[in-house]
Chains A and B, each alone.
Chain A
Amino acid sequence: GAGVSQSPSNKVTEKGKDVELRCDPISGHTALYWYRQRLGQGLEFLIYFQGNSAPDKSGLPSDRFSAERTGESVSTLTIQRTQQEDSAVYLCASSLRDTADTEAFFGQGTRLTVV
């Protein structure tokens, strides 16, 4: 595709339910990042995938959060037993490779609302 695509654009879920967010990176991009952005706040790092290396999960806030990536393609971020504090925009970004001077391109984000 032309850019990073995320789905769904908006998700409203009930507290305690599980949600799955999807990110389709730009074709050929080996690096993929997930961030959380609460209203009016900064970009909180969650997880980073680079090729076949073990992902950097150091930003995941709790064991309710997990993410997977199949090869160098689609990634899914799963939040189990959602809480109201999980409400935020979840942004995905991808870049061509991490050893070159390449830009990280962001998707439009998934706005998650936990009610």
Chain B
Amino acid sequence: GENVEQHPSTLSVQEGDSAVIKCTYSDSASNYFPWYKQELGKRPQLIIDIRSNVGEKKDQRIAVTLNKTAKHFSLHITETQPEDSAVYFCAASRRRGSQGNLIFGKGTKLSVKP
């Protein structure tokens, strides 16, 4: 089955700096890669996702890149703000038939210092 590795487990940056979180996956058939943000005590919420036919996607200060050959994808947050502090999870899925389960990395705790 799919295995997703996520690094780093913790990341501390100064407000205004950029943050990068990296993930690798094992199943070459995976074709959907979402990123979720979980604030303390709350449910995970989708912030951005990318499909395997796209190499990069941006949404304001957030961007995700995908390298299918190397089977890794990354989350980039620019001009970080204190409200970006949370745990971020990457995930991978085949999104096909009965094999569409969504497997998550272990998370990255991002702290943005004012």
Contacts and interface: CB of A to CB of B under 8 A. Distances in A.
18 contacts: A42-B107, A45-B101, A48-B101, A50-B98, A56-B99, A56-B101, A59-B101, A91-B43, A98-B100, A100-B95, A101-B32, A101-B51, A103-B46, A104-B34, A104-B102, A105-B46, A106-B43, A108-B43
Contacts of A101: 32, 49, 51, 95
Contacts, number: 64
Interface residues of A, number: 27
B32 A45 contact: no
Interface of A: 31, 33, 35, 41-43, 45, 48, 50, 53-54, 56, 58-59, 91, 93, 98-101, 103-109
A99 B32 CA distance: 10
B100 A31 contact: yes
Contact of A42 (B45, B95, B98, B106): B106
B20 to A, nearest CB: 19
Contact of A43 (B44, B49, B99): B44
Contacts of A31: 100
